[in-house]
Amino acid sequence: MKFIVSSQALFKKLQTISGVLNTSNTLPILDNFLFEVKENNLNISCSDLESTMTSSLAVESKNEGSIAIPAKILLDILKTFPDHPLTFSIDEKMGVEIASDYGKYKLSGFSGDEFPKSPVIESPSSVHLDAYIIQRAIEKSIFATGNDDLRPVMSGVFIQLSESDMTFVATDAHKLVRYRRTDVNASNASSFIIPKKPMNLLKGILQNIEGDVKVEFNESNVSFSFDKTILTCRLIDGKYPNYEAVIPKENPNRLTIERNSFLQSIRRVSIFANKTTHQVRLKINGSELNISAEDIDFSNEASERLTCSYEGESIEIGFNSRFLIEMLNNIDTDNVVIELSAPHRAGIIVPESNEDGEDVLMLVMPVMLNN
């Protein structure tokens, strides 16, 4: 088998899909890219058994075939080349020779038949979504996913499609994000849970993609197709918690504050917080917000005052500062609104205004104040 390909075009495709590769694999064949040449087209795949990514590009070839080529050495050599044609020649013993303008490079490949077959999604449902909307929905929700192996459903992002909207939900039981788009809909209502790794891959790749992404799914797998690239992954099996039930509906206390000054204040004060609980205390009275933290073991303490707009009764409540920082970092507006009901009930953080068609709600559980 022999084919000629642009070094930079190949490198870009490999970079796009290489995020699927694991640093340590149970199957050695998964340390390779699968190259399949057919009718002047090169399909490249990589897999970790849970997720598979395939991309294609045009090549010059006179024959067809497949081979698995070690990923690390191939990426390392390709990144050193300026853009020029490379000739790949593969012999019957799976030896690979790469010829460039500078010289020749030889390495050993493996039979393409050993590579796991890409999953085929049988009788799928499908929906077309704008790449920007998917990327933004992932970006706004994925930080709230959990890492608990005992509760795998919480380690993924829950996606609900309906005839009126699309909702992305992520939670680790301490914090929750519900990101809803009212400008997106599907012909049939459906829902599924996608693992964190393929979601992170999509978040990075879709930043540079314009246009629609075709999403196909059945009960066990989902695929995203865009720009001659397909990402297929296995869904997390299980029932997602009833997230609507934990969102408090009655929140009579409403705080509006400038996002950046609130974020920087929490960052400074939290340096003096207990290193186990990361607790900061918010004391709101009239138009004054007092943020404080202490670590009794080391006699550390800090407090700051900010002016705010507040409607409701005076309240004192504790939160994990790391959760507040994550949430405030993922809000774009100048001001944020924090809705509270009682010191032992969850607080809700929302942007003061939403982008068209967007509805963002973040929930954070309080921590008990040690008076």
Domain boundaries, the chain: 2-114, 125-244, 247-364
Q: How confident is residue 101, by pLDDT bands cut at 50, 70 and 90?
A: very high
Q: What is the pLDDT of residues 342-369, one digit of tens each?
A: 999 999 999 998 878 899 999 999 998 8
pLDDT (average), residues 53-74? 95
Residue 272 pLDDT? 97
Q: How confident is residue 371, by pLDDT bands cut at 50, 70 and 90?
A: low
Quick one: which H or E segment has residue 199?
helix 196-205
Specify burial of residue 120 (Cβ count, 10 A radius: 0-12, 13-18, 19+): exposed
Task: Report the topology of domain 2-114.
Answer: DNA Polymerase III; Chain A, domain 2 (3.10.150)
The pLDDT of residue 118 is above 90: no
Q: What is the pLDDT of residues 126-182, one digit of tens each?
A: 999 999 999 999 999 999 999 988 899 999 999 999 999 999 999 999 999 999 999
- Report how far residue 323's alpha carbon sits from residue 174's, in angstroms, rounded to the nearest whole number: 8
Question: And the tokens for 291?
Answer: 């943020």
First to last CA, the chain: 74
Q: What is the pLDDT of residues 244-288, one digit of tens each?
A: 999 999 999 999 999 999 999 999 999 999 999 999 999 999 999
In the chain, % of residues over pLDDT 70: 99
Output the average pLDDT for the chain: 95
Task: Report the topology of domain 125-244.
Answer: DNA Polymerase III; Chain A, domain 2 (3.10.150)
Q: Quick check: do 2-114 and 247-364 share a fold?
A: yes
Whether residue 129 contacts residue 206, with contact meaning beta carbons closer than 8 Å, is answered with: no
Residue 368 pLDDT? 86
> Which residues are within 8 A (CB) of 162 and not within 5 positions of it... i.e. 6 or more apart?
185, 186, 189
**Domain 247-364 classified CATH 3.40.50.2300?**
no
What is this structure's pTM? 0.92
> Which residues are within 8 A (CB) of 165 and not within 5 positions of it... i.e. 6 or more apart?
180, 181, 182, 184, 185
3-state secondary structure of 76: helix
